[in-house]
Amino acid sequence: MEMFDSYEQDFNDLSVRIKDRIEKIKELTGEEKKKLKVAADRELDEAHELIQQMDSELRGFSVDERKDASKKLRKYKNQYQNFQTELRKAYEMSSYSQDRNDLFDGRSDYQVQNLDQRQKLLQAQNTLDNSSQRLQNAHKTALQSEQIGTEILADLHQQGDTLRGAHKKLQRAEENVDKGGNIISRMFRRAVTNKIILIIIIIVLLGIIAMIVYFTRFYKKK
């Protein structure tokens, strides 16, 4: 859990830097914009690696820990995909603004009209990309939910096996207790029987001794 928290903190710090770069890209042009775009792409790669690390850590969690961590991970994946879309839009729109300014500096109305059409096409493409991204996110969420459900079922099955094993052990323990009780009962009955036999033997011996004493005194008197 500590490693997951560490990756989560790194991702949040990286997200702040990526968001800041996207905002700056909207205001820049030329080489500075391209350099900032390269830096933002590199940080997006780092963010993707952190998401993969968190996903790997998630597999070793318990059922309760996995539920909370899975929600966070889905949010970070969506955030990463949104960054990709926002970065592409910021780069394309800033390029369009620069091209439009160049056109207005001395080019024909026909070229300006073509540029407007290009903007509309870009906006339509962005809309399609956003719709496709939402479908992909929904598909990934469904797959993740299915995976979590499968893992929960596997955990429940394992816990069921553990409970059945414990029940069998309890049954064996009860059987052993019953056997021990039967053995103790037989030993007790045997001890009682031996005591009774011993008492009878003592009584017989006392009777014999009494008879011997009686006959001995009887014959002496004669």
pLDDT tens, N- to C-terminus, the chain (222 residues)? 678 889 889 999 999 999 998 888 888 777 888 888 899 899 999 999 999 998 888 888 887 788 888 888 889 999 999 988 888 888 876 554 444 444 444 444 555 466 567 667 777 776 777 677 777 777 777 777 777 777 787 778 788 888 888 888 888 888 888 888 889 988 999 999 999 999 999 999 999 998 888 888 776 655
Domains annotated on the chain, with CATH: 2-172 (1.20.58.400)
Helices and strands, counts by H and E, the chain:
4, 0
In whole angstroms, what is the distance from residue 107 CA to residue 103 CA? 5
CB-CB contact of 36 with 101 (8 Å): no
pTM, whole model, 2 decimals?
Answer: 0.46
